[in-house]
């Protein structure tokens, strides 16, 4: 897996070198936009962007909570790409699904960024209709990444800049949130939920924010039989529930009555996850600029300008 | 009661979000959240905020709020064009959940105009057209869909639509495709035989699938009935075996399929009480519940 990621990072860097490099302003050292594409939303409200493989355009989910970019089994078959077993490792997705094959796609074009070839994991997981794969941290983390949900734009910027204030789209006040980057490229920061400080991961691939039930019980001191805990779905691995949390705060952003799903540990099936997955229910209401190199998020309301 | 803090903008997504300035906090930026109608009652919301609220409302199972929100986003006229298809699709889904089928078809027409050949749009519009009783339109969308992907579920859907249109030979052809794509699907074979029976076509034996599920397993007695190897009494007897939950479901299915067996013999009098029983007792998420109600509506 390490080798695969190294290869992916190298290719992602190549993508950057081949970019048309359009400067957003004339100042030296300013932001350089490497790619800009339309960003639509799938039926679950998650961001989708077009990526061309061999001249055919496919919609990919942009997933900051993923690991490596993926193509669905169906897409790999449709393109006639080879499926190669991963030799030394596998990837476990939310829900416990194992990914153990990869492929190499050729003739890539992403909003003007071009690459001769690019590795993808091959996922057998069902995707939303019209979604062919996932664009994830192997590519994202070598750029600065902007989600402009209100204007339906997804932008990549080169990290080599000296601009200090990266909330370039607004003259209004904005939030700057320092984060740490996990070893798999996840953006993690502390949030405050009902007065308790917990670790969260920013996950554009999650259509709802989620918390692990057992951890929530430990942190907030409620039990399975708490009358405030409402079961909203049942599965063979335990109930999915909701709890009436009052306030979620992070970096100057506060959300009242956050809509957080509580999943049992066995359902999530991912060891070592941060407590809170901050999903699109919150994120789609924000304008986000992720400065991976500086490890800082720049945030305004989605409609701010 | 209205809150005192200065508001810039408000969003509602199950809860209300208001964007306000604060003298404190990082760089003075703050998102304040308030309950609906308390802090955000009169504040202006941009079309994107309405759109975002609609998306969240659909995900949270609130179709009324989703319709209101998407309608506001579309009416504003300044929603980003890239988001327009998603707004029409989102409102169509909410309309469908409310049973407003014709409105859903209208929105899906717009969605497909903006995204011609979109697979999900065609699938949704076929559902909406069926829901509105326009089975020919549903069949047309499903035929276009099958041209793009020959999947089990799409053949199933078109088979049922064609069955409702009383195009029994064509329906049988679709169920045959389902059975070929999934040889263990006993219900595909059951619907194949049912369609053949209603269309006056020669029955099959269901031999392959009966081998898969075993002659004693459910719904083998139903398949054997359509193959001419069992009688309605045998089906009734088989349906009563098993635990209580199983028996209730089997009896629901027996009522419906035996009614179809009688209809294939033009015996409406024998079929009607069985259809009444299926429409009354079948679980609402069962195909047999929907189809029993449909059959009863055509018998009136």
Tens of pLDDT along chain B (300 residues)?
222 222 222 232 322 333 322 322 233 333 443 322 223 333 334 899 999 999 999 998 899 999 999 999 999 999 999 999 999 999 999 999 999 999 999 999 999 999 998 999 999 999 999 999 999 999 999 999 999 988 999 999 999 999 999 999 999 999 999 999 988 889 999 999 999 999 998 887 667 666 666 666 889 999 989 988 889 999 999 999 888 888 999 999 999 999 999 999 999 999 999 999 999 999 999 999 999 999 999 987
Please determine, for residue A76, whether its predicted confidence score (pLDDT) is greater than 80. Answer: yes
* Closest-approach residue (CA) in chain B for A172: B29
Least confident of A134-148, A288-302, B22-36: B22-36
Please determine, for residue A277, whether its predicted confidence score (pLDDT) is greater than 80. Answer: yes
Q: pLDDT > 70: what percent of chain A?
A: 84
Residue with tokens 């035929």: B143
**Residues with Cβ within 8 Å of residue A224, at least 6 apart in sequence:** A217
In the prediction, which pLDDT does A200 show? 94
Question: For residues B156 and B142, what is the distance between their CA atoms, to the nearest angstrom?
Answer: 10
Whether the CB of B43 is below 8 Å from some CB of chain A: the reply is: no
Question: For residues B23 and A81, what is the distance between their CA atoms, to the nearest angstrom?
Answer: 56
Q: Are A247 and A256 in contact (CB under 8 A)?
A: yes
Neighboring chain B residues of A299 at a CB cutoff of 8 Å: 29
Q: CB-CB: which of B16, B29, B52 is closest to A302?
A: B52
Neighboring chain A residues of B141 at a CB cutoff of 8 Å: none
In the prediction, which pLDDT does A173 show? 81
Interchain CB distance below 8 Å, B33 and A251 = no
Please determine, for residue A270, whether its predicted confidence score (pLDDT) is greater than 50. Answer: yes
Least confident of A38-52, A285-299, B12-26: B12-26
Interchain CB distance below 8 Å, B13 and A129 = no
In the prediction, which pLDDT does B300 show? 72
Whether the CB of A191 is below 8 Å from some CB of chain B: the reply is: no
- Dihedral angle computed from the Cα positions of residues B225, B229, B233 and B239, in that order, rounded to the nearest 10 degrees: -60
Question: For residues B95 and A225, what is the distance between their CA atoms, to the nearest angstrom?
Answer: 36
In the prediction, which pLDDT does A23 show? 43
Rounded alpha-carbon distances, angstroms, from residue B147 to A32, A80, A126:
44, 20, 21
Whether the CB of A43 is below 8 Å from some CB of chain B: the reply is: yes
Neighboring chain A residues of B49 at a CB cutoff of 8 Å: 285, 302-303
Complex ipTM tops 0.95: no
Confidence grade of residue A128 (pLDDT, cut at 50, 70, 90): confident
Total-model pTM: 0.82
Give, for B278, the enclosing helix (H) or strand (E): helix B268-281
Q: CB-CB: which of A150, A174, A177 is closest to B48?
A: A150
Neighboring chain A residues of B150 at a CB cutoff of 8 Å: none
The conformational region for residue B16 under phi > 0 = left, psi -120 to 50 = alpha, else beta, is: beta
Find residues 77-116 of chain A whose CB sits inside 8 Å of chain B.
none
Question: For residues A270 and A91, what is the distance between their CA atoms, to the nearest angstrom?
Answer: 10
Whether the CB of A249 is below 8 Å from some CB of chain B: the reply is: no
In the prediction, which pLDDT does B213 show? 64
Residue with tokens 């200065």: B6
Give the single-character DSSP code of B227.
Answer: T
Torsion B236-B241-B243-B246 (CA) sign: negative
Neighboring chain B residues of A259 at a CB cutoff of 8 Å: 13-15, 56, 60
Question: For residues A259 and B131, what is the distance between their CA atoms, to the nearest angstrom?
Answer: 32
Please determine, for residue A274, whether its predicted confidence score (pLDDT) is greater than 80. Answer: no
Count of CB atoms within 10 A of residue B62's CB? Answer: 19
Mean pLDDT score, A37-56? 94
Q: CB-CB: which of B31, B86, B93 is closest to A41?
A: B86
Mean pLDDT score, A57-74? 93
In the prediction, which pLDDT does A1 show? 39
Interchain CB distance below 8 Å, B14 and A259 = yes
Whether the CB of B299 is below 8 Å from some CB of chain A: the reply is: no
* Closest-approach residue (CA) in chain B for A150: B48
DSSP chain A: -HHHHHHHHHHHHHHHHTS--EESSSSTT--EEEEEEE-EE-TTS-EEEEEEETTEEEEEEE-TT-SS-EEEHHHHHHHT---EE-SS--EE-TTS-EE-EEEEEEEEEETTEEEEEEEEEEE-S---TT--EEE-HHHHTTSEEEEETTTTEEEEE-S----S---TT-SS--EEEE-EE-TT--EEEEEEETTEEEEEEE-TT-SSEEEEHHHHHHHH---TT-TT-EEEEEETTEEEEE----EEEETTEEEES--EEEE-HHHH--TT--SEEE-HHHHTTEEEEEETTTTEEEEEETT--
Per DSSP (E only), the strands in chain B are 9-13, 15-21, 29-34
Per-residue pLDDT reduced to its tens digit, A219-269: 999 988 899 999 888 766 678 899 999 999 998 788 888 989 998 876 655
Residue with tokens 């308790």: A196
Give the burial string for B188-197 (b: 16+ CB within 10 Å, else e).
bbbbbbbbbb
Q: CB-CB: which of B29, B58, B119 is closest to A252?
A: B29
Q: Chain A interface, mutation test: which of B8, B29, B150, most A Cβ atoms within 10 Å?
A: B29
Question: For residues A136 and A144, what is the distance between their CA atoms, to the nearest angstrom?
Answer: 13
In the prediction, which pLDDT does A266 show? 65
Q: Report the candidate in B264, B265, B259 with the shortest Cα–Cα distance to residue B279.
A: B259
Interchain CB distance below 8 Å, A254 and B52 = no
**Residues with Cβ within 8 Å of residue A123, at least 6 apart in sequence:** A70, A71, A72, A73, A93, A97, A99, A133, A134
Give the single-character DSSP code of B26.
Answer: G
In angstroms, what separates the C-alpha of B199 from chain A's closest C-alpha? 35
Neighboring chain A residues of B93 at a CB cutoff of 8 Å: 43
Q: CB-CB: which of A45, A251, A303 is closest to B48?
A: A303
In angstroms, what separates the C-alpha of B59 from chain A's closest C-alpha? 7
Q: CB-CB: which of A40, A299, A302 is closest to B82?
A: A40
Length, in residues, of chain A: 305
Whether the CB of B130 is below 8 Å from some CB of chain A: the reply is: no
Rounded alpha-carbon distances, angstroms, from residue A119 to A71, A87, A147, B251:
10, 14, 24, 53
Residue with tokens 């959240």: B33
Question: For residues A42 and A129, what is the distance between their CA atoms, to the nearest angstrom?
Answer: 8
Residue with tokens 């409702």: B164
Interchain CB distance below 8 Å, A175 and B26 = yes
């Amino acid at each position: 897996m390490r080798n695969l990621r190294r290869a992916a990072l190298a290719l992602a860097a190549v993508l950057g070198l081949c970019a048309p490099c359009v400067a957003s302003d004339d100042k030296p050292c300013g932001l350089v936009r490497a790619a800009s594409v339309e960003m639509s939303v799938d039926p679950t409200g998650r961001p989708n962007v077009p990526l061309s493989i061999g001249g055919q355009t496919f919609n990919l989910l942009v997933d900051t909570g993923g690991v490596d970019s993926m193509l669905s089994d169906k897409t790999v078959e449709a393109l006639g790409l080879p499926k190669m077993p991963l030799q030394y490792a596998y990837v476990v997705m939310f829900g416990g699904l194992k990914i153990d094959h990869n492929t190499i796609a050729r003739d890539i074009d992403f909003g003007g960024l071009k690459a001769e070839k690019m590795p993808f994991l091959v996922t057998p997981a069902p995707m939303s209709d019209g979604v062919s794969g996932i664009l994830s941290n192997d590519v994202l983390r070598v750029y600065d990444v902007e989600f402009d949900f209100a204007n339906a734009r997804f932008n990549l910027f080169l990290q080599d800049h000296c601009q200090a204030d990266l909330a370039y789209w607004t003259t209004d006040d904005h939030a700057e949130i320092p984060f740490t980057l996990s070893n798999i490229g996840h953006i993690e920061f502390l949030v405050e939920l009902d007065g308790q400080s917990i670790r969260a991961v920013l996950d554009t691939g999650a259509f709802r924010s989620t918390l692990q039930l057992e951890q929530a019980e430990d942190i907030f001191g409620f039990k399975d039989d708490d009358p405030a805990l409402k079961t909203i779905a049942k599965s063979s691995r335990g109930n999915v529930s909701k709890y009436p949390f009052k306030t979620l705060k992070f970096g100057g952003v506060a959300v009242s009555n956050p809509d957080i799903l509580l999943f049992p540990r066995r359902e999530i099936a991912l060891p070592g996850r941060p407590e809170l997955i901050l999903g699109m229910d919150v994120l789609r209401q924000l304008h986000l600029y992720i400065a991976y190199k500086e490890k800082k998020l720049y945030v305004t309301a989605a409609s701010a300008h | 009661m209205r809150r005192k803090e200065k508001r810039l903008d408000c969003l509602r997504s199950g809860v209300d979000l208001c964007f306000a300035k604060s003298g404190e906090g990082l760089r003075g930026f703050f998102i304040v959240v308030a309950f609906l109608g308390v802090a955000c009652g009169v504040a202006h919301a941009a079309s994107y905020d309405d759109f975002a609220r609609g998306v969240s409302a659909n995900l949270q199972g609130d179709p009324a709020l989703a319709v209101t929100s998407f309608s506001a986003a579309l009416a504003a006229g300044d929603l980003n064009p890239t988001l327009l298809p998603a707004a029409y699709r989102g409102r169509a889904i909410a309309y469908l959940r409310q049973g407003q089928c014709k409105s859903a078809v209208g929105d899906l027409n717009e969605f497909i105009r903006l995204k011609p050949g979109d697979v999900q749009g065609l699938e949704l519009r076929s559902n909406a057209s069926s829901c509105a009783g326009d089975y020919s339109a549903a069949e047309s969308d499903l035929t276009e869909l099958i041209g793009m992907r020959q999947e089990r579920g799409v053949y199933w859907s078109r088979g049922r639509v064609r069955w409702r249109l009383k195009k029994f030979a064509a329906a049988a052809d679709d169920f045959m495709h389902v059975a070929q794509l999934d040889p263990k699907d006993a219900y595909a074979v059951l619907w194949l035989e049912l369609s053949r029976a209603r269309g006056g076509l020669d029955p099959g034996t269901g031999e392959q699938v009966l081998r898969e599920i075993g002659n004693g397993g459910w719904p083998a007695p139903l398949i054997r009935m359509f193959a001419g190897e069992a009688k309605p009494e045998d089906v009734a007897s088989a349906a009563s075996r098993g635990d209580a939950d199983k028996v209730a479901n089997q009896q629901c299915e027996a009522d419906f399929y035996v009614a179809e067996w009688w209809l294939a013999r033009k015996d409406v009098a024998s079929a009607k009480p069985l259809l009444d029983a299926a429409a009354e007792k079948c679980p609402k998420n069962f195909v047999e519940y929907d189809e029993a109600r449909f059959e009863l509506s055509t018998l009136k």
